[in-house]
């Protein structure tokens, strides 16, 4: 026997299948490869960073955090000093660090299901008690229940995911405000995970707008989705209070962001317009796909993200398997009768529609 932590014995690691099929529509990546000019800029940046790899990287990644602040100023019209911006290896690491800093033994985190399946893992790793309340049938958060639960359970972390994964649901700013206020009253950090923010429909606001109002608010974002940089591993947090960032500094591992990661992310941010040029197309493909699924008689959760949750299936695994047999990989996640499909290129989306039609014929 290995002296493994008792609560980890028999637990297998998280991960969606990575299969080499024609249409990989299961992990919400941006389906478009990087433009050649951006590949060139990244290659140059990496090459120049390579000369200095004998040295440890810039520990505080100040230049990168400033570039992220610039991007947020353009994307949300919110000006943040670098002291309120934090960066790490994917927003997964950011969230893990938030649990290290604000969770822990004797503490509690609260979120609303169905939602992102990684949150319980951060809680487990940090010995944080983890609670989930069900979302309403339309997949929005039951705000009254949330406020009552915050008063009752006294979590130190509340996670709101907007747009939510796997449902695509975005949260009204007034609801976020009410929950942030309850967090302020009862001593909780309120974290809004905005991994998919750049895909939101016109008129849907970002919680960044509330950073001036609630000092307990943290908004997390990532370059993995809209930026098409999932392979680079760069996520970030925007904190209403610079002391949050000071605390994340305390729990981070030394030199957590490699010089290569920093160089890649900086080169990407310098080209953010080129990199996010396909977001508009992905949004219109999403809306068209949602409409098509509706026409086919499926239930479709309204989506502000780059994926769609649709159903309902008596045997979703059979449908998943059928799609896979036609080279289309979607995700078996969320409520038991639903499937989630990432929005791909127009060609991939056509393959998906075709495969789903055939799956229906065969049912
Ligand atoms: C994809 C996703 C992330 C991003 O994770 P990275 O570590 O930045 O790649 C974060 N939150 C949610 C809800 C996601 O779906």
Write down the pLDDT at residue 307: 98
**CA-closest residue to ligand 1 atom 2:** 195
Q: Is the dihedral of CA 96, 100, 105, 106 positive or negative?
A: negative
Write down the pLDDT at residue 16: 85
pLDDT at 223 over 70: yes
For residue 115, give the ligand 1 atom closest to its CA.
13
- Cβ atoms of residues 166 and 333 within 8 Å: yes
| pTM confidence score | 0.97
- 23-24 and 328-329 as β-strands: parallel, antiparallel, unpaired? parallel
pLDDT at 14 over 90: no
Please choose from 26, 193, 200, 227 the residue to mutate so as to test ligand 1's pocket, defined by most ligand atoms within 8 A of CB.
193
Tens-digit pLDDT profile for residues 19-57: 999 999 999 999 999 999 999 999 999 999 999 999 999
Tens-digit pLDDT profile for residues 173-210: 999 999 999 999 999 999 999 999 999 999 999 999 99
Report the distance separating Cα 89 and Cα 193, nearest Å: 15
CA 26–ligand 1 middle distance (angstroms): 13
For residue 28, give the ligand 1 atom closest to its CA.
1
CA 149–ligand 1 middle distance (angstroms): 25
Report the distance separating Cα 342 and Cα 348, nearest Å: 10
- Measured at the CA of 252, the angle between CA 88 and CA 190, to 5 degrees, comes to 70
Domains of the chain: 12-28+277-362 (3.90.1150.10), 36-270 (3.40.640.10)
Provide the pLDDT confidence category of residue 360 given band limits of 50, 70 and 90: confident
C-alpha pair distances (Å), 36 with each of 43, 67, 269: 10, 22, 15
Please choose from 116, 261, 308 the residue to mutate so as to test ligand 1's pocket, defined by most ligand atoms within 8 A of CB.
116
C-alpha pair distances (Å), 319 with each of 167, 241, 302, 328, 347: 19, 47, 21, 11, 20
pLDDT at 119 over 90: yes
Q: Which residues contact 44 (CB under 8 A, 6 or more apart)?
A: 267
- Measured at the CA of 17, the angle between CA 303 and CA 163, to 5 degrees, comes to 20
pLDDT at 115 over 80: yes
pLDDT at 363 over 80: no
Please choose from 121, 224, 231, 236 the residue to mutate so as to test ligand 1's pocket, defined by most ligand atoms within 8 A of CB.
224
């Amino acid at each position: 026997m290995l002296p493994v932590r008792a609560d980890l014995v028999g637990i297998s690691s998280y991960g969606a299948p990575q299969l080499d099929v024609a249409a990989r529509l299961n992990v919400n990546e941006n389906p478009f490869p990087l433009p050649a000019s951006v590949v060139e800029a990244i290659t140059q940046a990496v090459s120049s960073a390579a000369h200095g790899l004998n040295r440890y990287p810039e520990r505080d990644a100040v230049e990168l955090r400033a570039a992220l602040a610039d991007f947020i100023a353009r994307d949300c019209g919110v000006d943040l000093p670098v002291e309120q911006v934090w960066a790490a290896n994917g927003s997964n690491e950011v969230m893990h660090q938030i649990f290290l800093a604000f969770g822990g033994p004797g503490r509690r985190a609260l979120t609303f299901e169905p939602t992102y399946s990684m949150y319980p893992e951060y809680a487990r790793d940090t010995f944080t008690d983890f609670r989930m309340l069900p979302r309403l049938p339309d997949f929005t958060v039951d705000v009254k229940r949330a406020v009552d639960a915050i008063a009752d359970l006294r979590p130190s972390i509340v996670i709101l995911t907007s747009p939510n994964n796997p449902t695509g649901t975005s949260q009204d700013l007034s609801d976020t405000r009410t929950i942030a206020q309850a967090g302020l009253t009862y001593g909780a950090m309120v974290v809004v995970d905005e991994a998919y923010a750049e895909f939101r429909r016109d008129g849907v606001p970002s919680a960044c707008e509330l950073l001036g109002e609630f000092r307990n608010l943290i908004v997390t974002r990532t370059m993995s989705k809209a930026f098409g940089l999932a392979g680079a591993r760069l996520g970030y947090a925007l904190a209403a209070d610079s002391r949050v960032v000071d605390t994340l500094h305390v729990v981070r591992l030394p030199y957590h962001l490699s010089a290569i990661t920093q160089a890649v992310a900086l080169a990407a941010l310098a080209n953010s317009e080129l990199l996010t040029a396909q977001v508009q197309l992905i949004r219109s493909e999403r809306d068209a796909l949602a409409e098509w699924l509706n026409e086919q008689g499926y239930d479709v959760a309204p989506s502000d993200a780059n994926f769609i949750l649709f159903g309902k299936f008596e045997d979703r695994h059979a449908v998943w398997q059928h799609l896979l047999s036609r080279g289309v990989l979607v995700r078996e996640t969320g409520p038991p009768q639903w499937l989630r499909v990432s929005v791909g290129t127009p060609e991939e989306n056509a393959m998906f529609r075709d495969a789903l039609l055939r799956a229906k014929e065969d049912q």
